[in-house]
Structure 1
Amino acid sequence: MPPADEDSLRHLRLAGVVRLGLGGGRGPTDAYVFDPHRLALPAWACALGESAPPALLVTLDRHLDVVVPERPADMPDRSAGLRALDEHARWHLNVRNYDHILAAMEANLVGDALLIARTRPRGSFAGDTYVDTRGRPHRLISVTTVDRAAEAYRNPGPTDAVRDVIEAASSVLLDVDLDCFTSLSDADPTTVLPWPKAIIREFLLPPDSEPFWDAVLAKAVALTFAREPHHCGGLLPSGELFRDAAEVLFRELLRVEPP
């Protein structure tokens, strides 16, 4: 067997990022799994390469990770290469993992973003258009559930832009944070409650969501999956949650065997 070329092995340079082949299902052919969500940024760079246009980001999360980076102008452009982007994500983005989306816009990896998330961290960008330091506008479409995104895609109202950003995109990066499938306890806000598999399925695959998912997956070039165990109850509870979420996400949505 001939040796693989360097481009096909670029992901092996990303410490802590596991690349999975997803052939045979629907949607993306590659998935990248890691713990800190900010490592999505170099994974997106790896998935898109150096010449593909910026992608639409469709992200499912408990939090709206749209805090502006501390020094957005210092974010390397994607032309600086994978190593520079990876180093910046690890050493310069916030360890709370909430500024990588706008950083990816600064790097010209992400164009618009469809944000399916329920809570807004302190300091989050509040507008519906983020203009990066190079003057490029990026639409930020925020909905709280897949059900609402699917409804806005099927029957868009005057202010709904879900269908618009999907149809305008040349490609999609599908991104999932495992803590999307958790809630904070009403009795103790410091306690994280992982969702059972039935609730994960109800959230990801609500009735009449197929047209939305068909449109997203038809353009999806990669899935990124952040495990973030410290947001999911710790190592053991997050491992069990990852197993349940992977069953629904991979087997039922993407129609491939889970990792």
Structure 2
Amino acid sequence: MDDSHLHLRLAGVIRLALGGGRGPTDAYVFDPHRLALPAWACALGVEGSPALLVTLDRHLDLVPPVAPAAVPDRSAGLRALDEHARWSLDVRNYDHVLAAMEAGLVGDALVLARTKPRGTTTADTYVDTRGRTHRLVVVPTVDRAAEAYHQPAPGDRVRDVLEAAERVLLDVDLDCFTSLSDADPMTVLPWPLDVIREYLLPPGSEPFWDAVLGRCVALTLAREPHHCGGLLASGRLFQDVAQVLFREVLRTEPP
């Protein structure tokens, strides 16, 4: 099987060809976010420098893997990383980012997220078990990331990691566009279309998106239905997010 068909071995991962827009030509869609690990491996291959990960999420998925030294290196191949993601990573889907650093797929990470799961690292760097240091740049929103890119304040590192990147992976968790109900914290409220657009495309964000998409080699999109109100609610949310993310951010037709 040639490399162009390796994704067909990834059960539950849908590969989409994107064309006519800006940014990546490939997208990978799946449900549990930990399947980003083999999707990133498929997108990047076994050679080349690690990519900068730009990830949009409701949660800071920066929990260290339980056994970081057990994460296969990218040279072990797609099958090893896929098996590790499915059987060894946390089913809460919170440790795949640092696992990707252990694997040599991701260098630095620019994380746009709002809530901290239990066990989330609070350090601004992560040193993997191979001794490599990765910068962790955390901002809550696209608006804040765009501001830090355009007019950096002392301590802002958004522009630093974007300008240093040779390749970028853009990663989106659908639950980024949800909130928990104030009346019932167990109830998930999907955002309406206009709020999604306001979040993804705030005024002045074009330079930031140009920097992200100019070197972006792939988009990964986790649907996480259990974090988005269930199958039907997540399906409707996916349609709204796709309208903005694909048509207005990537300037291509939605899947």
- Unmatched 5+ residue regions in structure 1? none
CA distances 1:97-153 after superposition (whole Å, capped 9, x unpaired): 000000000000000000000000000011000000010000000000000000000
Q: Return the alpha-carbon distance in structure 1 between the equivalents of residues 41 and 143 of structure 2.
A: 29
| 2:20 matches 1:21 | no
CA distances 1:154-189 after superposition (whole Å, capped 9, x unpaired): 001110000000000000000000000000000000
Q: Return the alpha-carbon distance in structure 1 between the equivalents of residues 201 and 84 of structure 2.
A: 35
Residue among 53, 59, 67 paired with 2:55? 59
Q: Return the alpha-carbon distance in structure 1 between the equivalents of residues 128 and 37 of structure 2.
A: 16
1:73 shift after superposition: 0.5
CA distances 1:192-229 after superposition (whole Å, capped 9, x unpaired): 00000000000000000000000100010000000000
| 2:118 matches 1:122 | yes
1:6 shift after superposition: 1.1
Q: Return the alpha-carbon distance in structure 1 between the equivalents of residues 162 and 48 of structure 2.
A: 17
Give 1:184's aligned residue: 180
- What aligned pairs does 1:237-256 form with structure 2 within 5 A after superposition? 237-256=233-252
| 2:92 matches 1:87 | no
Residue among 86, 92, 96 paired with 1:96? 92
Letter aligned with residue 245 of structure 1: V
Give 1:209's aligned residue: 205
Q: Indicate the percent of aligned positions where both proteins have the same amino acid.
A: 78
Give 1:40's aligned residue: 36
Q: Return the alpha-carbon distance in structure 2 between the equivalents of residues 158 and 178 of structure 1.
A: 31
Instruction: After the TM superposition, list the runs of 4 or more consecutive aligned residues in structure 1 that deviate by more than 4 angstroms.
Output: none
| 2:189 matches 1:198 | no
Letter aligned with residue 36 of structure 1: P
Letter aligned with residue 204 of structure 2: D
| 2:163 matches 1:170 | no
3-state DSSP class of the match of 1:124? coil
| 2:136 matches 1:140 | yes
Letter aligned with residue 239 of structure 1: G
Superposition RMSD on alpha carbons, in Å?
Answer: 0.5
Q: TM-score, normalised by structure 2?
A: 0.99
CA distances 1:220-253 after superposition (whole Å, capped 9, x unpaired): 0000000000000000000000000000000000
| 2:215 matches 1:219 | yes
1:23 shift after superposition: 1.2
3-state DSSP class of the match of 1:183? strand
Letter aligned with residue 253 of structure 1: V
Give 1:77's aligned residue: 73
Q: TM-score, normalised by structure 1?
A: 0.98
Letter aligned with residue 168 of structure 1: A
Letter aligned with residue 96 of structure 1: R
Letter aligned with residue 224 of structure 2: E
Q: Return the alpha-carbon distance in structure 1 between the equivalents of residues 9 and 204 of structure 2.
A: 40
3-state DSSP class of the match of 1:186? coil
Letter aligned with residue 243 of structure 2: E
